Every structure is written in C-alpha cells, then in structure tokens.
Structure 1
Amino acid sequence: MSEHLKKHRPAQTMLARSVQLALGATTALGLCQVALAQDEAAKLGRVEVTGSSIKRLDAETALPVQVINREAIAKSGVTTAEQLLGQLSANVGAIEEKAQNTDTQKNSGFSGANLRGLGVSSTLVLLNGRRMANYAFGGQGVDLSSIPLAALERVEVLKDGASATYGADAVGGVINFITRKDYQGAQIAVRAGGYDEGGGNRKQVSGSAGYGDLDRDGFNVFGAVQYQQSAQLRANQRDWSKTALRPDVGSVGTSTTNWPSNLFTTSAAASLIGSVDTNGGKCAPPTSVFSGGFCQFDYQAAADLVPETKKLNTFARGVLALNAANSLFVEAAHSENEAHYRISPATFTSYRLTANGPRISLFYPKNGPFFPKTYTSMTTGLPVATPNTKDIFVAVRLLPLGQRERVQDTKQDRFVFGAEGEFAGWDYSAAVNHSVSMATERYNNGFVYGSKLGPLITSGVVNLWGDNTPEVLALMEATQAKNVAGRTGRATSDSIDAHASKEVFQLPAGAVALAVGFELRREKLTDIQSDEAKSGLLNNITSSPDTRSERKVKALFTEVHVPIAKGLDADLAVRYDSYDTGDIGSSTNPKLSLRWQPVKELLLRSAIGTGFRAPSLADVSASGGLSSSSNFYTDPLRCINGVGPGCKPGPMPIRSGGNPFLKPETSKQFSLGVAVDPGLGFYATVDYWKIEKNDVISQLSESLIGSNFAYISKYVTRDPADPAYPGLPGQISEILLPVDNQGVRRVTGLDVALSHRANLGQYGKVRTSLSGSYLLKSQEQLVKGGEIVDVLGKYANLYPTPRWKHLLSVDWSQGDWNLIFSNQFQSHYRDAYANLVNATTGFVASVAHGTPGSVSANVASHSTYNLQGGYTGFKNIRLDAGVTNLFNKAPPTSNQSGYFRGFDQSVDATGRYVYVSAAYTFK
C-alpha cells in the first residue's frame, strides 16, 4: 500500500459498526449485512461512496446505501445482474428479459431496474461510477444483461434521489456496479441447473484473473469472462400457464383466428365453423378450445415463458501507477446477448401483393376443392349447409408453420481511459468514456410473405380444415421469411468528466471538504427498420418511422461537507445541467443532507432535494410501430347497450408515439432515517422516504381505453363505416398513445433492515438478516389535470404495487461448511378484474381500477423459500448446490388480462430450480 494511502487508514471502532446499518445493510439470499464501503475504507483510506463526490475516511454518509459484496453475490444463487436486482425489495415493476409478460412482439431483449416503481428511466445504472449507453431499442435505460457479474467486487444501491450528483435519470435512485480493482490470482467456475418440470435449463462457465501488485510492481491488470446458455421454457410446461382459457378465475384469453380456420359468409356475418366436428376432437386442446360459440385458438399454450438465450460478458481493467499517489487506468467491456423470442403461430387474414399496396382480405374460393359443403354447428351440434354462392372470408392461424420466432442480437461495448489520485491536496478522478449499445432483430420463423401465401390460399390449394399433403406443406414453408433482418438500433454515449475534492479549512468540529466537477456528454440514437420490414409484404410486421437523434449535455456540480458540531454533519450538493435540444433547456438541482450521531449506538440521517429527468432520445422521436395492446378491450362506440360488433373484447392496435415538445420531469425527495447498534450482534435501520414527480414523462396508458375512452378518442383512427352496421363507426384501425407530460406520481414508504449475528461456539456462526420495503402511498395521474388515482396495493397500468416486499435470510457457517436458507415475500394486492366472464353476455370490458359488479378478489401473497449449501474443504475448491423455490410454489391466481392469463406475472413463474456449481482458485 502506498504511503499516501496508509496515512489515511482509519481505525475500526464501534462507530464503524453502527455505520453498517447507516449504509443500508444488505440481505438477499444470504447477502450479508456488511458495511462494504466501511471495510473498503479500512483497507484503502479515503473512499468515494455512491451518492457523494467527496472522498472521506469513513463511509459515513447521510444517504441510505445498500451494499452487496462479492461473497454475498456468490451465495445468492444468481447468475445475472437482473436476477440479483430482482431480490431487492425496492426494485418494483422491473422490466425482465424473460417473455413472461406478453405474447406479442414487444419484447426487445431488454431487462432494466426500477427502483421505487418510478420507471426504468428513473433509475440510473453506473459501472465503476460512470455511465453506460442506454439500450439501443427504446433507449429508456441500461440493459442489465451487459453487466459483467463475474468481474464485480460489490454493488452499491443508493435508494434516494441523486440528481444533484449525477444529473438526469437518478430520480428513483442509483445502482453502481463496482468491479475488482487490485485482484491478483485466477479463478475458474462452472455451474449447471434445471427445473423439476422441465424447460429453461441453464449452464454457465466463468473465469477471472489478475496480475501485478500496484505497490510492488507499479501496475495491475485484471480480466473476467462469463458465458451462459439458457434453454427456452414453454408456457405449456407449467400447469398455471398452459392455457389462456381460465373460466375458474373469470378470464378468457383466446383467439377466433384458428387452425382449422374459422370462416365467415361475409366479414360482417356471424362466425361459422368449417367442417370441424367437436366429437372428432379437432376443436380440442392443446391448440383449440370451444368458447363463446367459436372454435378458438389457445395461443398461450403455444408461447414461451422464458426465451432461449446465449450470453457472453467480458471485462478488462489495467492500472499503471505513475507515483505513490497517482495512476492511469483503462477499462474495456464487451457483452453479447442472443435471445430467441418465440410466440404463438402467426395470424393470416389479409395480405399485400405489392410493397405498401392495398390490403386484400383473405378468401377461400367457392369452387375450391376443400370448400366445406357443410359444417357442424358447435352450438347445436347439427350439420348446417355452407352458403356456396360466393367465396368465404377465412381467418387462419398458421399452425403448420410453427411458432413465430424473433432473434434479438445485442452487443454492448464500453471503453474508459482516465487518471486518478492526488494533486496539490486534491483527490481527483477524470476520464474519457465511450459506450455503445447495438441491437439487431431478425425474423427467423413463422413470419410469411403475404404476397406469396395469399395467392396460394386463394387458389384453393391449401386445405384449411383438414390435413395437407407434404407437397402443399412444402409450398407453405416456402412462403416463410427465414433469417430476415427487421430492425437495427445503435445508442452511443461519449463523455468527458472530472471531479476533485479536498479539505479546504478547519472548523472546531472538523474539516470542511469541497468537491467540484464537470461532465460533457454527447448522446446518439438510431433505430432503423429494414426496407423489407417497411414494405408491408411481411405479414404480422408493421412499418415504423426511423429514429435518428442526438444531443449534447453540459453539467457543473459541487458539494460541500460541513461538520457543524461534534457528531453533526451537513452535506450540500448542487448540479447544473444544460441540454442543447428540444424544450429541455437547463435544470439546477440542490440536495441537503444531515447526519447526526449523538452517541456511538445511534445514527440519525435526513435528506431533502430536487431532481429531474430529461426525456430520452426515443421519447422525443417519431412514432413507433403498430402492436397489439396487452389487455383486451371492447369498442364502446360499436357496442351500444351491450349489443353490437364491438362488444367482444379483443386486443387493440396500438401505435406508440414520440413527442418533440416534451419538458423534463421534475421531482422532490425527502428521507428521514435512523440506524441503531445496541450491541450483542444486533443492528437495525428504518428509513422513511417520499418522492413526488411532476410532468411525468410516460406513454399514455392503454388502460385509458377502458377507463376514459372519451379522452383517448382523439387519438383513435377508424376504418370506413361498414354498411352491414348502419349508424356505427368503422372498426378501430389504430390508437395512437403518444409520450406526453402527464400529471403527478407520488410514492411514500419505509425501508427496514434488521440483522443479528450469533456465535454458537463449536456449532458455528449464524447471521440472520431482513430487508424489506413497505409502501405507505402510491398515487398516479394518467392525464394532466385529471383524477389522481390511488394505486397502492392494486394492479394498475400493467404491473401491481404490493404494499410489502421482503427478503429474509439465515446464514450458518462452521469450518468448511456454509448453509443459507432464505425467504422472498410479496404481499397480496387488488386484482385487475379485466375480462371477467359474465353469465349473460360472456364478457365484460376491461376496468382500470376497482371491482365490477359484486366480484371481489385479491391476488394472494407470494412466498418462496431457497436453500444453498457450500463446502470448501478441498484445497482451492469451492462446491455449492442449491434450490430456488424449494417447495415449488406456484404463482398466485390472477385475473390480469395480458396475453398470459390466470397467474400473477410480477413474481417468478418458472417453478423449482436445482443447481450445482464448482469453483477452483489458482494460488
């Protein structure tokens, strides 16, 4: 250790123990309650803790920082950053890569953190204290798949607003992934696991190595690599997800577009079932069900819960000591993620013969060889003659061609070069940072050229109601788009930043410290659809405008630490940000925090500040592509008094839209906390926090279709009126849901952390930890000037807001043995109540909040248990085995009306998972 660092080594005191809780001690599947930053300070002297720009001897800030160290990560049983953050009680409504939330083409291979449930774009994710480029598709946040878990030393989670230090995106908090810095040695590890009920098996190999001692050799180089493969997990491999027809919970989620095809005498007439005989079993599970007078396709049985993925993460860091106090460093990171998203086979009801030409409805010819002369009425069971005076309109599900498969290839590169150390009494750090996210989308299976398949079906060659010959199936197969590029995105972030801190003068209670800094950043985003995808010739693919945006950001910031009296300190931070595009302009955000420790066993802290979030480049860009709504809705203008063609709920065509006139969000935050260290191994922290956002930047919620159609009607585009329904408007062809500055979002809650250590003598040591979050208030305003709605403990806007979440763990160790038992819990909440089956009509419209009629139900609380054991008795070897969801707890039943029906999608729905791992350390 250098002389400069040695002279700043602090002594371990009872104060350090109490600070462990002040820093938000961590629990997560055995994540130990440790003051990592404090331990780091003991080793390295002055350290910089997430949320502050000032280096200090102790990590004794007034902000709630939760720390997860490397050992805790290893004991947690997780293999990705997404899984690790999924264990945080403050992470609510996060976006996960698994395709558990929808059977549409919306999944883009992205996983993002969501502290306090304020949105992915309000959680800032850093790597070694510096930014990474946002994900190329959508640009809302950093993709957690790009984080090199094998290279991490620890993770610091600041659960408080930090715009005064980091600028935009830090309204909900900051997650700082910190890699190993001075590691020497090498390690290799392998891991494999699988589910009891099949599907989703995973295997992983990782390695890391470091060489060089900074003090002795004047340099250190470190590198890590991790590769993981995961198999797909299909919905029909789990009892709770194998069907979308759930009359037991009042939920129906099937489609009248089927194979064998439903047919219509005209597009407006009642549905007829072709030569389908219920007794013959053709309209039967696993692909079809009879519901509402239709032979309906059960699309949920044909979708995947979890995608097949291949992930590669690499990281390298080199440090060169210039002298005892200064060094140069370079970091390089590269990640790749290939995800195969498979959903139900494509629908086919219309097509184009020429690029962007008119759509032609799909008909089967009246003189075709397979024209059904009669069909069996599925309501009466009697044969009915099929009118053969004209062609029949058909709605086809392309079951013979298999699942639709999109392949998402994502790459992330990051290069940082900088210097850090001490100069003229200032502790400084400066760097140049280049980060880029690249994503491509390919159509691999199940997408057809309508210009080829349409004429094939209208010729009468294809039997839509029976078996086809191998030759006909080959003709159908030839219409598919195989490995066709659909979309390419690229997001870059280039920046130069520097900050420095020093003690500027002495007060009776201690030294006043000052920090100053600046950041210059340029952001770019391109999101371009291929010409083939834009042509309209590919069925089930809609065109969308290209996005090409960039902007520059300038920022100045400062922070002052003032010791007011013995045990009482204050921090004041201010940051000024200026944007050169749109209506964003500039923003200045202060933050004041206080820390008071009247006795060594008690620490009180409080902070108040403002924040802001600039709209992302995607937010201010052009409209996006067309997709289906997540929920099913009726059309109130075509459903009068429960009668009409719009009364049957179904997915609505949604087009997202950007807004170049967006203003930044603004926010106010307040927190008040206490940490106690009464001794005897007990520690505890309780923090009250309150956040209010104004001018919330968000896409208009699709729930407005069901709850406030009058407001949303100005964004509705319709087809021409159908003469078969005089007096009614045409069908909805598109609903634009633009990004807009909406109203307010208010969230208030309590964070609780408890820990106890016990020495059992010859029976080992036990550490018991609890980390939980309890929401006191959650309100949102979907329309500016509209009603402020209470969503606490309810399902709203596609995800729930449970009051309480916790992680409880018991970590026992003795000699070479270690055993961790943990419990992850989420409280019950009010259900969605959408698409409940009504005894008279068969359906009711989706409801955003509340209970329709007399129906009353909650989504039950969810509690899972996990167990992991480790052994280190063999030289240089660590062996681990574990089980997540030990008792194979099924997700709670729910009426949520997304494309996946019948179960709570906010919890893990994969079942019991068993894994083993082995690691060898070279010494």
Structure 2
Amino acid sequence: MHKRTLLSTAAAAALGLIASSAFAQAQGNAQQLERVEVTGSRILSLNAESAAPIQVLSAADIAASGVANLQELLLKSPVFGTPAISRTNSNFSTSSAGVSTVDLRNLGSNRTLVLVNGRRYVSGVPGDTAVDFNTIPADFIERVEVMTGGASSTYGSDAVAGVVNVILKRNFQGLRMDAQMGVSEEGDDKKKKVSVTFGMNGSDGQGNLMVNLSASQQGAVYSRDRDFAAVDQASLGAFVTGDVKDVFTIARPFYSSFAPQGRFFYSDGTATRNFTYNAAGQQIPFSTNGPAGDGVGATGYNRSAVRTIAIPTDRLMLASKGEFNLNDSHTVFFESNYAATKTKTQLEPYPLDSTDLGGLIPAEFMVNGVKMRNPLVPDTIYNNAIDRDGDGLKDYNFTRRMSDIENRGNKAQRDTFRLLGGVKGEITKTWSYDAYAAHSFTKEGQTGTGQVNVMNFMNALSAVADVNDVNGNGNRTEAICKDAIARDQGCVAANIFGANTLSAAAARYIHAPSSLNTRITQTLVGASVSGEPFSLPAGPVGVAFGAEYRKETSSMEFDALTQTGLNAGNALPNTAGKFDVQEAFVEVRAPLLKNLPLVKTLDAQLAVRQGKYSTVGDTTSWNSGLDWGLNSTFRVRANYSVSTRAPNIAELYQAPSQTFPTGLVDPCLGKTLTGTDAVSVACRLVPGVVANMNANGGVFKLTQADLQGVSGFDSGNPNLDAEQGKSTTIGIVVTPKGIDLLKDFTFTADYYKIKIKDAINTPGRQYALNQCYGGGNTSFCQYITRRPADIGPNSAGSLEFINETSANTGGDFVEGVDVTATYRTRLFGGMFNSRIAYTYIMKAYNQATPQAERDFSQGEVGNARNRWVLNLGYNIGNLGVAATTTYFGQSYLDDVFMRDNFGSTNKMDGKVKSRAYLDLQANYKLGKSEVYFGIDNATATKAPPIISGLPGNTTGAETNASVYDAIGRRYYVGLRYSL
C-alpha cells in the first residue's frame, strides 16, 4: 500500500475509525475558526462536532493504502457490510459486472447514500442508486466522511443506513504524480496505476483550478489458477449424502452433466437410455464424475476451468473542479467528472438442453411425402428411438455444453459523466447561501458471447441427405439443412454427436451474440440558506433551509433475440422507468446550556424534510439529536432519526432478469407417495413430482443435473410503497487532554439500532418454496416452475425456475456497538501510532412478510458478530513501516439452510472459522520523491471453503468472495513525486 507517514498508514486500514470530534481536533486551531459544513448537517458552524457518529478517512490515508479503487479501502472498516457488487463477486452478473459499491451495516447498497461534496452522485447500476467507486478518482479526494445512521432529513431518500460523503480537494496547487505496479504471488491480478493531479490559483488569487487524470488496470484471476477452485466441487452433505457431518466435506470432482461431447437420450419403449462419446469418438455410457462400474472415467465437464474469480477492470478518469470569486462575498464554482471503465467476464459455454429448443428433436422427417432420416444421427439413436410426440416420426433429446461456439461472457464499456455548476457566498456576516444545478449520466454498452439462436439451431438440426445435390457440389450423401429458405439464409447442418463436431460454419450460424445498452440520467437543482437568526444565552442558534428537485431515469435495451427469448434463455424485454421528486427541508441547531457544572456544552439539533415523489407520493423524514460535552474529556451524543426511502427504478420496473441461485433446498426431496404430512400432500399436487415418485420407488429423488440446474428471474413491482427506517445512536467520546501521557489518545463507543418498516426486499426463494409446499401460503406457488412429467422420470418434477419480485416485506433490523481507539506517542526517536476499530453486532434480522418469523443473521457468514481492524505503525526520519490487520470473527452458515436441509439447529454444525488478513507497508522519502512497497495478505491467509451448494458461495471462487480474500498474497511497488 502507498506509504506516507506512519500516522496516515495507521489510519489507512481503519476507516471506522475516528469520531468527528477527534477529526476536528486533529486539524488544528486554524480550521476550527472556519465555518464548515459537517456531513449530516446543512448548517455552517464553527463547531465541527455532531450528534451522530462521523468517521473520517483523509487524503493521506487513501494515499497510504495503495488501492486502485476506494472501495477496497472502505471495506476494511467494520461498519461496512459485504459489497453488493465488486470485482470478485460479479462474474455471473448479466449487467454491471465489475462495478464497485459499498453497503453500510449490511442493509444494502441502496440504503447507503454516496455523496460528492455533500451532493448526490449518479448511480453506476441501472435502476439503482448505488454509486460506482470506479468513477471517483481516489487521488482527487481530500477526505471521506462516513455518517452511520439515518440521514434522509438532510439528504433525502436512500440514507437509511447512513451516508458516505466524498469531499474533493480544495485549493490544491502544484503537481503530484503517482505510479504503481503490482502482482499476486501466482503471477496474476496484475495491477497498474498512474495518476497526475495539477492545481493552480489565479494570478490575482481570485480563483483556483484543479485537474486529475488517472488510469488503472486490474488483471483477471481465473478459478483454474487456484488449487482450491480449479476443479468443480460441491458440498457432499448438500448434494450427495444429506448428512450434516458432510456439510464442509468436499465432493471433488463434481462436474456438470452438460458435457461438450453431448449426452443423448432415446427410448426403446421400456426405459430411457443415454450415452455419450469418448475422446476417440466412441459411444460410451455417461458417468458425470466417474468412475463408472464398467471402468469408464468421468465424462462430465469441469466448469471451473473457464470461470473467473476476479474480472479484469480498466479505468480512465478525468476530473476537474474550480472556483472563481466574483467578489469578496460571492463565488461561482463547478465540478466535472468523466470516467470510462472496461470490464470482461468469462464463464463456461452455454449448457444447452434440447428443451431449450422446444423439446424433442426429430431423427427423421417427411420430405415431399417421403420419410427421410437425418444422416448425422447415429444408429444407436435412430434404431432405438420411437415416436414420443405423436407425429409418426422418431425423435430423441439431448444435453450439450456448446464449447464449439464460444465461452459465455460479456465485454462492457461504461461511461460516466457529471457536470455541476453553482454559486455560493455570504449574504451577511452570519448568513450564507449555496445554489447549484447538475446533470449526470452513466451509459453502458455490452456485447456478449456464447448464446444460441434457437430458430437457427433447430434448422441446423433438421438435416437430410443431399440426394439431389441441391448445392451443386457433386456430393449426394452429405447432410444439408432440410429447409430451403434456411439454406438460403446460411443454414449449415449441425453435427452435435461428439466433442468439437460442429463445423466452423455451423457454429457461426448457431451462435447468437448478444447486446445490452443501458443509460442512467440524473438531474439535480438545489438551493439552501444557512445562518444565525438570533442567540440564546449559550450561543447563537443555527438554521438552514432550502429546496431540491431531482429527476432520474433508467433504461435497459437488449438485442432482438434476447427480447423474444430466442437465444435459448427466457425473454428479457426492454425496460425503462423514471421518477422525479420535489423536496423542502429545514434544520435547527440550538445551544441549550454552556459552562455549567458537568455541562461544558449542550446542543440540540432538529431537521425535517418533506418530499413529493411522482411514484409514491408524499414522504416525511426527520431527525433529532443532542450533543453534550461534560468537560474537555468526556462528550456524550445521541441521535434519533426517521428516514424514508422511496423504491428505486429497478425495484419498481425491472424486467425479469435471470439468475442461478445456490444453497436452495427442495421441500419435496425425499417425500413419498404415501406421506400424510402437509409438505408431502402439497408436493403430490404437482404432476411432475408424482411421475418422479412413480419412477423412483415411490420417493421423490433428484439427480446431480437437477440440483445444478435451478434458475430464476428477478423482477420489479410497480405497486411498492416507500419504506421507513428508524435509527437510534447513543455514544461517548473520551479525549483526556488533561493527562499528558494520554493527550494523544481518543476513545469512542457508540450503540446503534436501525429498524426498517415495510422494507423493500425480495422475500427469498427458500421462503417461497417453504410457503408453497406445506407452509400455508400457496400464493408463492405462482413463482415456482417445475419440470413437466413427460421430460423423463429422472428429472420430472425437479425445480426449473424460482422467480422473485420486489415487495414491501416485514422489515429489516440491525443493532450493535462500534468502538474505536487511537493512540500515538514518541518512541525511540520516532513516532509510534496505533488505532483499532471494532464492531459487535448484537442482533440482525429480516422478515419475509409481516407475518413471517424473524430470520436472524447476526453471526452468519457476511455478518460476523465480531469485526475489527488494527493498525500499528512506526515512523522515524524518512522511513515508515506499518502493519494492518483486518479480522472477521467466527461465523456460521445460514441457520434456515441448516434447518431445512439437515434438520440442524446447532449452529456449530455450520461453523466457519475466523480469518485475519495482514497487510504490510513501507515507504521511504527521497526529497520530493517517495518510494513505497506493500504486501497485501502477507500471511497468504486462505479463504474458508464455502463451496458450491452452501449459502454465501460465490460461483467460481469456492468461498464467499464478497467477504474473504480469494486471490491470496499480493505485492506492489510505487513512486510518488510532488512539485
């Protein structure tokens, strides 16, 4: 990580870290005399303290971290939860792969409001409010202030969990350059970064202009290059034995039954038969994982050979800002940002089932009244196949990994542009104003590969012998497409029997490249006035009031085949949505008491915001707080807020978007034809389930392909209402200035509680399954699709799709304690620095519906009860060294999963051990230059095995890559130069 001083290094990994009082004190007396606006308030005040906890990350901290993206540093703070989107968890995303978002308190990135200079910033995710930190240059930032707790009364919707306020540099002069290179121990995850920041004042001192140009590249990390993820694997307990003792036992290999050489099914009238091909093109029995009883090895497909753990991301950013003083009292200003981001995902080729093409595939055809055979169909199928669809012609079905075409994946180009201009100044000595207007947009152009054109594929499979030499090449035995119109359009007969048997021409004809274009726009207009209308005995009363207008739009446009569902997937229609909101707010800060026994200061705050949304109508948010300074050592703060969040565009209007959920338990698994319990009775209402039971001795069974083949679609709900969050924080700040040994010691402790009513979430796929089958709420059955009875007895009744739609659910809740402590002292001629930030989660839960039981998540993977970050550093002369330890406490697998899958209520059965990651840094100054070197994850701590089939698994990483480091030890070196 970049190194500057040990103090800044110690702060680097500890965002979370310092309360506003400590920050204000550290800035020195000169800054105390300036009226400033603190995050969470619109009032300009000489007192930079707040009734709500505010944590600060400085420019020096950012520079000392060595990160290419600010998200990487923010996530070290224990107040942040798992990111909704990052480089290591978005390889399978259909859009927004590689976007970098943050999530306070694990309440969702849509409840964490990201601001730039106290104003909203355009989203990087279609339909959402989540800001992409790829678009904000880290070297252009003065500091980041994080306020935890509701702040909708100050900033409007989305600030239910808190605010991340990115404050850009101001009045920077000179030139600063930074160049860095890095690589992982395995030789991948290659990182390059270069940044130039320039600033100058006008010759008459009436203005300032700053510009930053930066570029970075972060390379790919593939699953095949990590031993723990190189081969498809699964939880033995979840997929095979059903025994709780096997939850963390790895079944390896656990290949996909969709293989490149194909798996072919035919019927001899008495049973379903299937076979595949070996490398020599010979027909053999299919054995997914091997060894088969006849000695045939594994014939399944290793998807991990293609998958990605971290997707490559390239960024180019240009940012500028400036101010020009019209006179001593009034200033015009502007801010502009442009960011171009490129990402590339890669996953295994498309797993095609002939049902994706409409069902059974004909082995023979009627042509001019004559029955003709497809000459490409092997005798094993043709001689044993029967007519299964009633047309008098033989048919068959198959599954096949379409490796002859291309790997699936997409290349995305995202462009973000933001331009803001305004005017600010003083009306009188104690009254000031600020007015601004801004327009921003994010657009994404995405091209995808690996999908299949359904109509073309069916034409290519409908092949006959060219007995009449219709193509004039003299060959009367070759296979050609039966349909003359299709031939004129380029149809080439498809040989799917064996690996790599498709000709290049056939592959081109079948392939369906995809495209997606998205656009997000945001228009802001706002004005506020701040002043001191009168004084109380304890000091002047501060007020702020103003109004804001915001309009947001979002659209997603797919290619024609995707829209109509003719690329072997479900139809994804184009979607678009918009809303606007008008808001007015007022805020008051009143000094109640001063200079009394046990009351050095006592200030009260109150803020109210009224909004009118075009979607949900009127909303009201308010906030109240007390800031009580007992003396120069002890300060107590308390805050209570009621925040509202209107549904975003995706939650309202999102068209069905496909996903592949893991960790689900089919309630029908193991149920019988004779069971009398509610679940068995409900399951037998499905014809496919009954067919499965009849074929498996009266018991419902699932194959590996069934377990791996569950999909689903997420969609919006235009009937949503706004949600309401209630937030309480109570804390103490200790700064013992009267004790010389502790004069540089700061301690804060804050209790927090956030409860969200009518929270906009999805109830959950497992909840829908449990309710549909014996849970008493059959309305959830409309979201579940099982495979039909005639697909074949082994797969009949298995889950095919489980869909979800946004809803006003029962609510979310989180409660806990944040503790931070910092200390610095001179030691052996140098400066020793230390800082720790610790978060303890007391309780966290959500409710799928108002009537549902609470699903507690404290202590589960991604929501560890105990998290902390510790920084130790030492600086002497031009040399600085530091160590940063980030700790995730012992966690457990989701309790609902353990209960439903294994009947276990003992959380120790799903225990995931704690993990600590050590980062080491060193820097040395040489005049105007600085050389720095760092090692991330210096101890090469391995991520815990949260493998396929377990909740929290990140596909391709074999762990939860949103929480744990799946890349390993990484090195970097850099050079910084200033003029």
Q: TM-score, normalised by structure 2?
A: 0.81
Aligned mate of 1:829, from 885, 891, 906: 891
Match of 2:627 in 1: 595
Match of 1:909 in 2: 966
Distance 1:367 1:913, change over 3 A: farther
Q: Does 1:569 align with 2:602?
A: yes
Q: Does 1:883 align with 2:935?
A: yes
Separation of aligned partners in 2, 1:542 and 1:250: 38
- 1:338-386 CA distances to partner (integer Å, 9 max, x unpaired)? 111111111222488xxxxx835456779666756679xxxxxxxxx99
Match of 1:394 in 2: 398
Larger radius of gyration: 2
| Correspondence 1:301-316 to 2 at 5 A | 301-316=305-320
| Correspondence 1:173-572 to 2 at 5 A | 173-212=162-201, 216-246=204-234, 247=236, 249-250=248-249, 254-265=255-266, 272-276=274-278, 289-290=289-290, 295-350=299-354, 359-362=358-361, 387=384, 390-424=394-428, 425-443=430-448, 445-457=449-461, 459=463, 464=496, 466=498, 468=500, 472-477=503-508, 479-482=510-513, 484=514, 486-540=515-569, 542-566=571-595, 567-572=600-605
Aligned mate of 2:832, from 766, 776, 797: 766
Offset at residue 136 of structure 1 (A):
4.5
Distance 1:74 1:665, change over 3 A: same
| 8 Å Cα contact 1:792/1:803 also seen in 2 | yes
Distance 1:57 1:362, change over 3 A: farther
Offset at residue 283 of structure 1 (A):
11
Match of 1:42 in 2: 30
Offset at residue 222 of structure 1 (A):
0.2
| 8 Å Cα contact 1:512/1:560 also seen in 2 | yes
| 8 Å Cα contact 2:140/2:197 also seen in 1 | yes
Offset at residue 454 of structure 1 (A):
4.0
Q: Does 1:742 align with 2:809?
A: yes
Distance 1:325 1:284, change over 3 A: farther
Distance 1:202 1:540, change over 3 A: farther
Separation of aligned partners in 2, 1:226 and 1:282: 57
Separation of aligned partners in 2, 1:317 and 1:348: 52
- 1:150-173 CA distances to partner (integer Å, 9 max, x unpaired)? 211111111121112111100100
Distance 1:832 1:507, change over 3 A: closer
Aligned mate of 2:642, from 610, 630, 640: 610
Aligned mate of 1:657, from 715, 726, 744: 715
Write the letter of the residue equivalent to 1:667.
Answer: G
Q: TM-score, normalised by structure 1?
A: 0.86
SS in 1 for 2:909: coil
SS in 1 for 2:747: strand
Offset at residue 439 of structure 1 (A):
1.8
Separation of aligned partners in 2, 1:112 and 1:849: 34
Aligned mate of 2:783, from 716, 719, 725: 716
Offset at residue 619 of structure 1 (A):
1.3
| 8 Å Cα contact 1:99/1:341 also seen in 2 | no
Match of 2:53 in 1: 64
| 8 Å Cα contact 2:265/2:274 also seen in 1 | yes
Match of 1:860 in 2: 913
Q: Does 1:634 align with 2:666?
A: yes
Q: Does 1:28 align with 2:18?
A: no
Match of 2:755 in 1: 692
SS in 1 for 2:867: strand
- 1:182-221 CA distances to partner (integer Å, 9 max, x unpaired)? 000011211111111132211111111001159x521100
Separation of aligned partners in 2, 1:719 and 1:850: 24
SS in 2 for 1:611: strand
| 8 Å Cα contact 2:934/2:973 also seen in 1 | yes
Q: Unpaired segments of 5 or more residues in structure 2?
A: 1-6, 237-245, 365-371, 387-393, 464-478, 480-492, 669-682, 684-688
Separation of aligned partners in 2, 1:728 and 1:869: 59
| 8 Å Cα contact 1:26/1:33 also seen in 2 | no
SS in 2 for 1:121: helix
| 8 Å Cα contact 1:822/1:865 also seen in 2 | yes
Offset at residue 323 of structure 1 (A):
2.1
Write the letter of the residue equivalent to 2:555.
Answer: T
Offset at residue 618 of structure 1 (A):
1.7
Write the letter of the residue equivalent to 1:536.
Answer: G
Separation of aligned partners in 2, 1:187 and 1:753: 32
Count matched residues. 862
Separation of aligned partners in 1, 2:317 and 2:904: 47
| 8 Å Cα contact 2:84/2:108 also seen in 1 | no
Write the letter of the residue equivalent to 2:503.
Answer: V
- 1:424-469 CA distances to partner (integer Å, 9 max, x unpaired)? 23122211121212122211x3233333344435547655454547
SS in 2 for 1:342: coil
Distance 1:364 1:696, change over 3 A: farther
Separation of aligned partners in 1, 2:836 and 2:284: 53
Offset at residue 474 of structure 1 (A):
4.8
SS in 2 for 1:856: helix
Write the letter of the residue equivalent to 1:289.
Answer: N
Offset at residue 804 of structure 1 (A):
1.3
Aligned mate of 1:789, from 849, 855, 863: 855
Write the letter of the residue equivalent to 2:732.
Answer: V
Separation of aligned partners in 1, 2:172 and 2:284: 64
- 1:703-746 CA distances to partner (integer Å, 9 max, x unpaired)? 32554444464323547843477999866554331100000211
Offset at residue 617 of structure 1 (A):
1.6
Offset at residue 520 of structure 1 (A):
1.4
Range with greater deviation from structure 2 (721-730 or 538-547):
721-730
- 1:391-422 CA distances to partner (integer Å, 9 max, x unpaired)? 43110101233421211221111111111221
- 1:547-593 CA distances to partner (integer Å, 9 max, x unpaired)? 232333323232333333332333333233323423x2222222111
Offset at residue 900 of structure 1 (A):
3.8
